[in-house]
Structure 1
Amino acid sequence: MLPLIYAHRGASGLFPENTMEAFHAAVRRRADGIELDVQLSQDNKLVVIHDHQLDRTTTGSGLVRRHTLQELRQFRADKNSHSRYPKARIPTLREVFQAFAGTSLRIIIEMKNFLVSQPHLEELVIEQIRRFQLTERTIISSFNFDSLLRIKELDPVQTTGLLYVGPIAKPWEVAARYQADQLHIPHDQLNSSVIKQSHQHGLTVLGWDLNSSRHIQEALELGVDGVITNYPGRAKKVLRALKRYN
C-alpha cells in the first residue's frame, strides 16, 4: 500500500488553517486525508481550531473555551493566512463530518486537551464519530496520552495515534502502555531504526511537520506509512516521482 498523504490542518500552507476552505483545498489536491484540531467552546461544542487562544488565527481574542459557538462564529478565521478569505470561519467537527462523510477521505482528529482542560472531550468526539459512522476512517491523536487510553475505554476499535515531540528512546513501548495503534513522529525524530522497530511492534508510523520536498522525500524513502504536511499537493508530487523511479 502506498503511503498516505494527510493535509495538516487542511492545505494550510496555502489556505487558512483548520477551515473548510483549507479542507476542500486538500481534497482538490488529492490528499488521502486531513488532520484537524478539536477543542470545546464555552457551551461544549466541538470546534475545529488549533490554538487555545483566538488571537493568532482569528479576528477574535482570548480563550476559545470562554466563547460560545455563536460568539466564535462572528470571528474571521483567515488572520494568519497569506491570502484573505472573508467567509472563512471556525467550523465545528460536525460540519466537517457532514461535508466529507460521503467521501473516502480519512480524518485525523487531534484532541487539544494537553494544556487546557476539556471535560468529556473524548466522549463527545466518539459520539460524533459514531453518529456519522466514521470509526474506520478516523484516527484520534493527542499529546495527552492518558486521553488516548480513555478513547480505548470508550471504543476499543477506534484507531489512536501517539503524538509527540522531542526524543523518546523506545516510543513503541510508550505506545503499548497507552494502547495506541500508531506513532505520529516529528520529522526530526524520523530514522530508519525507529521506523523499522515500530513496524516490528505492529505500529503504523506517520511523520508530521513534513513540508519541504526534501523532508517529504526523505521520510517516504525511510518507509513511513503516511505524511502529515501543510502542502498535500507537493507531497503527492513527490510520491508520484518516487513511484515512477522505483
Structure 2
Amino acid sequence: MTLILAHRGYAAEYPENTMLAFKEAEKAGADGLELDVQMTRDGELVVIHDEKVDRTTDGTGLVKDYTLGDLRKLDARFKFKELSRREQIPSLEEVLEWLAGTRLVCNIELKNSIIPYEGMEEKVIDMVRAYELSDRIIISSFNHYSIVQSYLLAPEIEIAPLLSEGLYMPWIYAQSIKAKGFHPHWRAAPDQIVTASLESGIEVRPYTVNKESELERLFKVNCSAVITDDPAKAKIIREKLFTP
C-alpha cells in the first residue's frame, strides 16, 4: 500500500514544520512525516525549511546566524495567525523524542545545498541512533554528496536523493549510490518511471502531491509513498480507491 507522508507535517492546515503540524498529521492518519533540517550558530539542529526565518516566523535573517535559544523566541505560526498559541521552531531532538513514541516513519531532508552546514550528517545520524530510530528514518537531500556521506557513516539508515527534474533511468542512479529509493518532484514521476523503478526494487516517493488527480494516479500505480501537504485528503482518496 502507498504510504502517506505529511510534507512539513500537516502543512495544509497548520504551521509547517511545527510540533502542532506533526501531531495533527499523526491524528489525520498519516503513515509518516517529511521535515527539513538546518543548523544554528551554536551547532544545533532545527526543523525549518528555509535558510531564512522571514517567511515562516516573525523574525528576519538566516537560521545559521541565530542561536537555538534565540530561534525559540520566534513565533512560527506563519500564516495561521488565528491560532491562539504561539508555535516554536522545533529542534530535531524534540521531534525525534516525540516520534520515538509513535509508529510513524520520517523523511529527514538535509537542507545543505545552499549553506554547507559542517558536520550536519554526523549530528543527524548520532541523534537518530540515540533515539533508536534508524529503521524508521530516510535521509534525503538535493545535495547528493551529503546523502552518500550519510550512507558511508550509517549504512543502516536509508538514503534517498531528491530530484527536481526527470532523470534517465533514475532507479539505476539510485542503485549506484546505494539508495533504496528516490524522491522526485511529482511531475518527474510518470507512471512508467514509477513502475520501472518498483520492478527494479527501488522505491519512489514523489513530492509535493496535492492534486486529487495526481494522488489517485500515484495510488493506482502502487507508488511507494506520496509526500503531501494534506494527509487527511490523501487518506480519503486512498480509502475510496482501495476499500472493497
TM bin, normalised by shorter chain, reads over 0.9
Q: 2-side partners of 1:190 and 1:100: how far apart?
A: 29
Distance 1:88 1:214 in 2: 33
Secondary structure of residue in 2 paired with 1:10: coil
One-letter amino acid of the counterpart of residue 141, structure 2: S
Contact 1:162 1:184 in 2 (8 A): yes
State whether structure 2 residue 240 is matched by structure 1 residue 241: yes
Distance change (3 Å), C-alpha of 1:224 and 1:111: same
Which residues of structure 1 form unaligned runs of 5+?
A: none
Q: Find the counterpart in structure 1 of residue 20 from structure 2.
A: 21
The reply to whether residue 177 of structure 1 matches residue 182 of structure 2 is no
Which one-letter code corresponds to 1:166 in the other structure? Answer: E
1:225 aligns with 2:215: no
1:153 to partner: Cα distance: 0.8
Q: Unaligned 5+ residue runs, structure 2?
A: none
Read off the aligned partner of 1:203 and give its amino acid letter: I
Q: Provide the residue aligned with 2:53 in structure 1.
A: 54
Distance across 1 between alignment mates of 2:29 and 2:151: 31
Matched, 1:114 2:113: yes
**CA shift at 1:82, angstroms?**
6.5
Write the letter of the residue equivalent to 1:127: D
Structure 1 counterpart of 2:91: 92
Aligned-pair RMSD on alpha carbons?
A: 1.2
- Residues 198 and 88 of structure 1, relative CA distance in 2, 3 Å threshold: same
The answer as to whether partners of 1:146 and 1:178 remain within 8 angstroms in 2 is no
Residues in 2 aligned to 1:108 and 1:97: alpha-carbon distance in whole angstroms: 11
Indicate the SS of the match to 1:150: helix
Query: Quick one: structure 1 residues 85 and 205, their matched pair in 2 at CA, closer, same or farther if it must change by over 3 Å?
Result: farther
Q: Deviation digits for residues 157-183 of structure 1, max 9, x if unmatched?
A: 211111110121221222123221111
What's 2:77 paired with?
78
* Contact preservation (8 Å) 1:17, 1:81: no
2:161 maps to 162
Contact 2:166 2:189 in 1 (8 A): no
Aligned to 2:8: 9
C-alpha spacing 1:208/1:122, structure 2 compared with 1 (3 Å): same
The correspondence of residues 205-224 of structure 1 with structure 2, limited to 5 A, is 205-224=204-223
Distance 2:137 2:124 in 1: 11
Matched residue SS, 1:89: coil
C-alpha distance after superposition, 1:6-33 (max 9, x if no partner): 0000000000000001001101101110
Distance 1:82 1:240, change over 3 A: farther
Q: For residues 65-95 of structure 1, what are the alpha-carbon distances to aligned partners after superposition, in whole Å with 9 as ceiling and x for unaligned?
A: 0100011011000123374353201000100
Distance in 2, Cα, partners of 1:34 & 1:169: 28
Q: After alignment, is 138-147 or 216-225 more displaced?
A: 216-225
- 1:41 and 1:115 map into 2 onto residues whose CA distance is 15
**Percent identical across equivalent pairs?**
36
Secondary structure of the 1:125 match is helix
Task: Calculate the TM-score normalised by the size of structure 2.
Answer: 0.96
Paired AA for residue 15 in structure 1: Y
Aligned-pair CA distance for 1:221: 1.3
